[in-house]
Structures are given as structure tokens and as C-alpha cells.
């Protein structure tokens, strides 16, 4: 669903697309934004639709329900960010979930907030995000800092110039070698445990090993060849 810009919306107003599977929720979001002078140029009811509308309109901001029907808000965020990196994306969730918030930021979101915000707060948050500020809670900000501290640094583990492992598989292997468990690797790299297990399976196959200890030993042997 799209709208023509009416006379209330100046040409220099912030333009937004909103997406939620619930029409009543969309109405609430629309009223909160337009009440603060933000022009809602289109609405979407699922992931595929919001990606198409964001690609067409190139809005300043997109406000998305994280549980959006279809592939979900995270997948839509990732696609929009890849196609229009200049568009600010704010995800709304029913409840605080820091792990999900980290995944949202990693997918390209500028903000991750509870939908229980007061209407005036939502429009201020969107404006701030468009201006380049991160729209996240203090707790999520601390999670991001800890995630950065735990993540392997570039060059932390020497790697062969030619390797069948991808960069992500090396990151998983670096953490595995340091003794991190699957859940710790997932938290550090902001991935699901299923994704980490998939990376482990792939790197085991490529290294020709069957266990974590064998994978760690294979990594040490490859690094010894680099020195």
C-alpha cells in the first residue's frame, strides 16, 4: 500500500515505509510517525512487500516488525540494507531480546526497540536514527561492546594465503581453537547455534577431521606452515 505525499508533508520531510502484518499495528505506527511530521509513503504487510517498496521508494527510514510474516523482519532488513545501504532501518519487537537485537544490528538495522514506546518517542527515535544515531537500549549497547571484545581480531590467528575455508569458517575455527563452545561462538559472532553447527560441519569436512580437537590441531599445523 502506498500514499501520495499530501500538502502536510514538505518535500524535505523524512520519508518512511512501515511494515507489520497487523493492520491495526500499522495504523498505530503510521499515526505515531505522521504526528511527528514524518511522511509515511507506503505500508507493507509482509517481508517481500516491504523489500519491494523500500527498493522502489528509497525512503529515509523503514520501520519493521521483527516478526513480519514471510521470511521475517531480519531477512527483510538484510535485503533492504544490501539494496539501499543509505536507508535507516528500525525494528520493533514485542519484548526485549538482546540476542535478537544483536542479530538485527548485524543484519543492517540502525535500531531495535520495544513496540511499547510512546508515540512521541518512536518518531524521535526514527529521526535520530536517520541522523546517524544508534536507536538501541543501553543493555543492547553493552552486548554489542562485549561481542566486539570477544570477536577474533584481524590477524589474531595466522591463516594460509590459500585456504578452502571461508572467512566465517576461520572465525569459527579461531574461537573453537581458543576453547569456545558452540553457544559461546554463536553469541560472539552473533549467529544462531544452528548456523554455527553448519559452519563446523563444513570446516570439519574441508579439513578432513571428525572432532573439535582434530580441527584445532589441523589449524595449528596450517599456521605452522605460514610461519
Residue where a domain terminates, one of 86, 111, 146: 146
Place 43 in a pLDDT band, splitting at 50, 70 and 90.
very high
Q: What is the structure's pLDDT at 158?
A: 52
Contact 72, 160 (CB under 8 A): no
If one compares 40 and 100, the residue with the highest pLDDT of the two is: 40
Clarify whether residues 88 and 131 are in a common domain.
Answer: yes
Strand partners, 18: 43, 63
Q: Is 48 exposed, middle or buried (0-12, 13-18, 19+ CB in 10 A)?
A: middle
Looking at the fold, whether 110 and 159 belong to one and the same domain comes out as no
- 91 and 182 both lie in a single domain: no
Q: Give the total number of structural domains in the chain.
A: 2
Query: Which of 146, 161, 187 represents a domain boundary (last residue)?
Result: 146
Residue 159 confidence (pLDDT): 53
Domain region containing 205: 152-226
* pLDDT in the model for residue 61: 96
Residue 3 lies in a domain: no
Q: Is residue 55 part of a domain?
A: yes
The domain that holds 98 is classified in CATH as: 3.40.50.2300
Q: How far apart are CA 111 and CA 92, in angstroms?
A: 8
Share of the chain above pLDDT 70, in %: 80
Q: Among residues 99, 126, 146, which one ends one of the domains?
A: 146
Same domain for 113 and 200, yes or no, is no
Within a domain: residue 171? yes
Residue 128 shares a structural domain with residue 157 = no
Asked if 137 and 25 sit in the same domain, the reply is: yes
Q: Residue 206's CB: how many other CB atoms inside 10 A?
A: 15
* CATH number of the domain residue 214 falls in: 1.10.10.10
Identify whether 5 is part of a domain. Answer: no
Span 165-222, pLDDT tens digits: 888 888 899 888 878 889 888 877 778 888 999 999 999 999 999 998 899 888 888 7
Write down the pLDDT at residue 1: 64
CA distance readout (Å), 148 to 80, 109, 189: 24, 17, 9
Q: Verify that 42 and 107 share a domain, yes or no.
A: yes
Q: Which residue has the higher pLDDT, 129 or 95?
A: 129
CA distance 151 to 206: 23
Taking residues 154-168, what's their average pLDDT?
63
Amino acid at each position: 500500500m502506498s500514499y501520495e505525499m499530501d500538502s502536510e508533508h514538505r518535500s524535505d520531510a523524512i520519508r518512511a515505509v512501515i511494515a507489520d502484518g497487523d493492520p491495526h499495528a500499522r495504523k498505530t505506527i503510521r499515526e505515531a510517525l505522521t504526528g511527528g511530521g514524518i511522511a509515511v509513503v507506503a505500508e507493507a504487510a509482509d517481508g517481500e512487500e516491504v523489500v519491494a517498496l523500500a527498493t522502489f521508494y528509497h525512503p529515509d527510514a523503514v520501520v519493521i516488525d521483527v516478526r513480519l510474516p514471510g521470511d521475517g523482519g531480519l531477512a527483510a532488513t538484510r535485503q533492504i540494507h544490501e539494496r539501499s545501504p543509505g536507508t535507516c532501518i528500525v525494528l520493533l519487537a514485542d519484548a526485549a531480546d538482546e540476542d535478537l537485537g544483536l542479530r538485527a544490528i548485524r543484519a543492517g538495522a540502525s535500531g531495535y526497540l520495544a513496540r511499547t514506546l510512546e508515540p512521541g518517542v518512536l518518531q524521535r527515535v526514527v529521526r535520530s536514527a536517520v541522523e546517524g544515531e544508534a536507536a538501541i537500549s543501553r543493555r543492547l549497547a553493552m552486548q554489542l561492546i562485549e561481542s566486539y571484545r570477544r570477536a577474533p581480531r584481524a590477524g589474531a590467528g595466522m591463516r594460509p594465503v590459500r585456504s578452502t575455508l571461508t572467512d566465517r569458517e576461520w572465525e569459527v575455527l579461531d574461537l573453537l581453537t581458543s576453547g569456545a563452545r558452540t553457544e559461546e561462538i554463536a553469541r560472539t559472532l552473533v549467529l544462531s547455534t544452528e548456523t554455527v553447527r553448519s559452519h563446523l560441519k563444513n570446516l570439519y569436512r574441508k579439513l578432513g577431521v571428525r572432532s573439535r580437537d582434530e580441527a584445532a590441531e589441523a589449524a595449528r599445523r596450517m599456521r605452522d606452515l605460514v610461519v
